[in-house]
């Protein structure tokens, strides 16, 4: 009986991985995409999280044959998105883009690779920056003057090169092994975008900013996420893998007594964005993973930032899994595989409304369940059906709010004030989550 029930669950999940709601009237233009062509025309299933609200998320499913592209270089990707990276986000023509191989954001038009020195303004060098703004010399005030101006001009240069702007009504899907390295996919002020089956690696910042008043000791802050969703609606991010590759934060030097931070988020959803579903993704070994809402200011974000996270694997990640402000965020059936050095998983921010159901938390031996939740100025979080395993011991059902309140003041309330209705298919019991998510989340788990 147990085997039959488990098998039935796995079959149901596998069927859900390749939704049958795609617009498939004319797929002839997808032939060069190989098996990935079956993915390109797929749309977010009805009721599959907040991304299915309103008019739903269809991406580039309606693309005509002349708007179907297979790309294997940065130049080809920019051309497929409209032809001019500076203006591509205004191109709302339905388009379907298949990524083949590895695309490097630092790639020139001729295929050669530049490095950070090629993007630096002539007035900037890291050695000069460190000498000028050392707190022992400059004090703990924000950097200003010609050298900081040169750093900012360097950031403008890098943004033009490594930030790839995506227009409305676009699907980007990877063929087998498709990788985007050293770049940011920017979804800004658009609607109806799908990003699937990609490995995203090392969206590094060549010119991090020193912020001496950020925290008690100051911090280095970087500019670039791997995927950034801003001022946009109806976005589906599915079956991707996010990693820093061979350039992890742990390998960065220490400057001014603080880690030199060259990475920002994996998938940040900010600046009034809303109606996003992130499903079946794998986040590996990253520090800052997902920020939902970027400011505590009560204003345009109120009533926005509504996001669903389901069947994602957070593997060796440290914080923001996610950190939430304002939004109604549904977090269910995710697996958190977290070591002893992790900071927190669920950040309860200002006016946030997290609903956390049937997730599985694998913690290091020295980590207690009260570390899973962190209060960033919020008041309540709904948690139900979650399980925690510490070290090699058995998993146990845990009331995450009670665990947090037992070790922290002030207490958090246990009712975030809403209940999700946009969920496609049954919610798995938490005990099944590690097996299903571990096997099926991330890139290269779909036909491509």
Give the residue numbers annotated as catalytic, written as ranges.
Answer: 320
Cα–Cα distances in angstroms (integers) from residue 198 to residues 30, 343, 402, in the given order: 18, 27, 38
Helices 2-17 & 433-440, crossing angle to 10 degrees? Answer: 40
Q: Roughly how many angstroms between the first and final C-alpha of the chain, as a whole number?
A: 35
Residue 56 near residue 41 (C-beta atoms within 8 A): no
Strand pairing category for 396-397 and 387-390: antiparallel
């Amino acid at each position: 009986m147990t085997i039959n029930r488990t098998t039935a669950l796995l079959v149901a999940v596998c069927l859900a991985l390749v939704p049958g709601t795609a617009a498939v009237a004319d797929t002839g233009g997808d032939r060069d995409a190989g098996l990935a062509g079956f993915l390109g025309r797929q749309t977010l299933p009805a009721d599959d999280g907040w991304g299915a609200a309103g008019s739903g998320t269809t991406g580039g499913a309606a693309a005509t044959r002349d708007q179907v592209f297979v790309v294997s270089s940065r130049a080809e990707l920019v051309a497929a998105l409209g032809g001019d990276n500076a203006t591509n986000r205004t191109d709302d023509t339905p388009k379907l883009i298949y990524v083949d191989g590895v695309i490097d954001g630092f790639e020139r038009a001729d295929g050669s690779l530049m490095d950070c020195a090629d993007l630096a303004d002539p007035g900037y060098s890291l050695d000069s920056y460190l000498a000028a703004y050392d707190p022992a010399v400059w004090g703990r005030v924000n950097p200003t003057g010609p050298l900081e101006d040169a750093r900012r001009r360097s950031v403008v240069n890098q943004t033009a090169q490594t930030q790839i702007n995506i227009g409305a009504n676009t699907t980007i899907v990877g063929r087998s092994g498709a990788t985007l390295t050293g770049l940011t996919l920017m979804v800004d002020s658009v609607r109806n975008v799908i990003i699937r089956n990609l490995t995203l690696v090392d969206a590094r910042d060549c010119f991090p900013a020193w912020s001496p008043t950020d925290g008690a000791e100051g911090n280095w802050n970087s500019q670039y996420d791997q995927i950034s969703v801003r001022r946009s609606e109806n976005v589906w991010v599915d079956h991707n893998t996010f990693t820093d590759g061979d350039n992890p934060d742990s390998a960065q030097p220490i400057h001014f007594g603080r880690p030199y931070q060259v990475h920002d988020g994996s998938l940040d959803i900010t600046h009034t964005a809303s109606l996003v579903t992130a499903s079946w993704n794998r986040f590996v070994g990253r520090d800052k993973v997902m920020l939902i809402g970027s400011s505590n200011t009560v204003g345009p974000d109120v009533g926005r930032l509504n996001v669903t996270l389901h069947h994602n694997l957070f593997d060796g990640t440290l914080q923001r899994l996610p950190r939430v402000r304002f939004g109604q965020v549904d977090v269910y059936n995710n697996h958190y595989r977290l070591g002893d050095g992790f900071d927190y998983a669920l950040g309860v921010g200002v006016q946030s409304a997290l609903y956390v159901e049937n997730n599985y938390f694998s913690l290091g031996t020295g980590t207690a369940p009260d570390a899973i939740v962190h209060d960033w100025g919020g008041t309540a979080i709904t948690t139900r059906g979650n399980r925690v395993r510490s070290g090699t011991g058995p998993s146990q059902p845990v009331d995450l709010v009670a665990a947090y309140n037992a070790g922290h003041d002030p207490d958090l309330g246990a009712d975030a004030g809403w209940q999700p209705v946009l969920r496609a298919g049954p919610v798995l019991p938490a005990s099944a989550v590690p097996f299903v998510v571990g096997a099926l989340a991330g890139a290269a788990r779909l036909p491509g």
